[in-house]
Structure formats: C-alpha cells, structure tokens
C-alpha cells in the first residue's frame, strides 16, 4: 500500500520588519497523481506561531497536532506563550529521536515572540536552523531563486507579502507537483492573519502574475 504523500510541495517563510510571512500551495501528489487540490500545509500553532509542512501527510498532521498541544500546555503552565526557538528545539528533539525510523517531513516553524520575528527550517533528522528566509519541497529551488534576488532586510509588510506571492507563483509555474492556489499567512505582534483568496488574486493581478 502506498502512503499518501505531499512531497511535491512548495512552502516558504520569510522575516520582514514587523513579523513573518509564510506561504504554501495546495497540491498534494502521489507519484504523478494529483491526489488532492486543497491540501493544507500551513498549520496555526498559536496566535503567534505557525508550522509549514512538506512530506507525508500523516506525519505532518501528527507533528502539527503535537506541537499545538505542547504550545497550549506551555502557555497554561507558565502563563506566557512558547518562544519560537523553544518550539523549534522541541520539534528538533522529537525528529532526532526518530532519525533511524524518521518522520518523512521537512518543516518550517515561524512566528513572533518577545525577542522578535523568527523563521526556523527543520530537517527529518532534527536539524534546526534559523534564517531570514527559507523554503521546502520540490518547488524550493524556484523560490530560492526569487528570494535570493529580491529579499531585503527590514522589508515593509506589503513588500514582504508580494515577494512571498511572487516566489510561490514562480514555483507553481515550473514545478508540476505544486499548484492549485496558495495560502499566505502573516504574523505580527498584533495578529495572526490568513489572507483571503480575493486579496491574493488581487495582489497577483497587480504584480502581473
């Protein structure tokens, strides 16, 4: 029996002046078959933090549920939100414990805490690296190409959203395993906001995509 996968995926996370932007497309594949066109790849962990996933659907959903529960327990016990670095370290430890029978995932943990905005990339063996931007999945080479060329530190919100949409659109044009629309989420100290489909389409139109 073949396990349902979404290895054909593109997700990204980037830091801007006041927070982070994350984006992911909707297509889930099983080999050359498009298995789903509405796959969820960005998971809200708390009001200040999210997780993006690429890899096996079951593994990704399990880890997202686990991290959401741990973040809630942390908040109840300490009466403060879990730091983004703490969440990344916790997830890295979970992944490392299973490195000989691994979770088949590539993750991004992003959010804003008392120390500012953070993006962490995590590999299946438990490596966790903080960066100003990162991307996962089969479409990631195209995303990196756009981000390497256009990313600037301390970008404003609109500029950061538009860059994320432009990078995702580039991947969806060239990577056959990525497509069927995208989700875009913004986190600042003030809010966790998922952009509407209408706003994304309007921005794409203005960008000529």
pLDDT value, residue 17: 96
Nearest-angstrom CA–CA distance, 111 and 20: 6
pLDDT, tens digit, 9 for 90 and up, residues 66-106: 999 999 999 999 999 999 999 999 999 999 999 889 999 99
Q: What is the DSSP letter of 50?
A: E
Answer with the residue of higher pLDDT: 175 or 126.
126
Q: What average pLDDT does the chain have?
A: 91
Which burial class, exposed, middle or buried, applies to 160 when counting CB atoms under 10 A from its CB (0-12, 13-18, 19+)? buried
Helix (H, G, I), strand (E, B) or coil at 118: strand
Decide if 134 is catalytic: no
The confidence band for 7, taking pLDDT boundaries of 50, 70 and 90, is: low
Structure confidence by residue, pLDDT tens digits, 120-150: 999 999 999 999 999 998 889 999 999 999 9
For residues 27-33, average pLDDT: 71
The pLDDT assigned to 22 comes to 98
Pick the catalytic residue: 5, 9, 10, 53? 9
Question: Which one has a higher pLDDT value, 152 or 40?
Answer: 152
Q: What pLDDT is recorded for position 148? A: 96
- In this predicted structure, the answer to whether residue 1 has a pLDDT above a threshold of 50 is no
Give residue 105's pLDDT.
94
Range in 37-51, 96-110, 124-138, 174-188 the model is least confident about: 174-188
State residue 6's pLDDT score.
46
Provide CB contacts within 8 A for 100, sequence distance 6+.
Answer: none
Q: Is the pLDDT of residue 2 over 50?
A: no
pLDDT (0 to 100) of residue 35? 67
How far from chain centre, in Å, is Cα 43? 8
Q: 179 pLDDT band (50/70/90 cuts)?
A: low
CB atoms within 10 A of CB 3: 10
Averaged over 34-51, what is the pLDDT? Answer: 88
**CA nearest to 104, candidates 60, 52, 41:** 60
Three-state DSSP at 6 gives: strand
> Which domains does the chain carry?
5-203 (3.60.20.10)
């Amino acid at each position: 029996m073949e396990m349902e996968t979404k290895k054909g995926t593109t997700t990204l996370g980037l830091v801007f002046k006041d927070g982070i932007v994350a984006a992911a497309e909707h297509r889930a594949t099983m080999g050359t078959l498009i298995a789903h066109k509405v796959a969820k790849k960005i998971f809200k962990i708390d009001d200040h933090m999210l997780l993006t996933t690429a890899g096996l659907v079951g593994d990704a959903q399990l880890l997202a549920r686990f991290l959401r529960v741990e973040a809630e327990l942390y908040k109840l016990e300490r009466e403060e939100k879990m730091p983004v670095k703490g969440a990344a370290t916790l997830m890295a430890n979970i992944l490392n414990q299973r490195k000989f029978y691994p979770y088949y995932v590539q993750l991004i943990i992003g959010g804003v805490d008392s120390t500012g905005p953070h993006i962490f990339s995590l590999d299946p063996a438990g490596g966790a690296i903080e960066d100003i931007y990162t991307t996962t999945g089969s479409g990631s080479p195209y995303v990196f190409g756009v981000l390497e060329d256009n990313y600037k530190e301390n970008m404003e919100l609109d500029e950061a959203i538009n860059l994320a949409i432009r990078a995702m659109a580039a991947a969806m044009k060239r990577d056959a395993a990525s497509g069927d629309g995208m989700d875009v989420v913004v986190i600042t100290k003030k809010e966790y906001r998922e952009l509407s489909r209408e706003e994304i389409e309007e921005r794409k139109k203005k960008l000529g995509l």
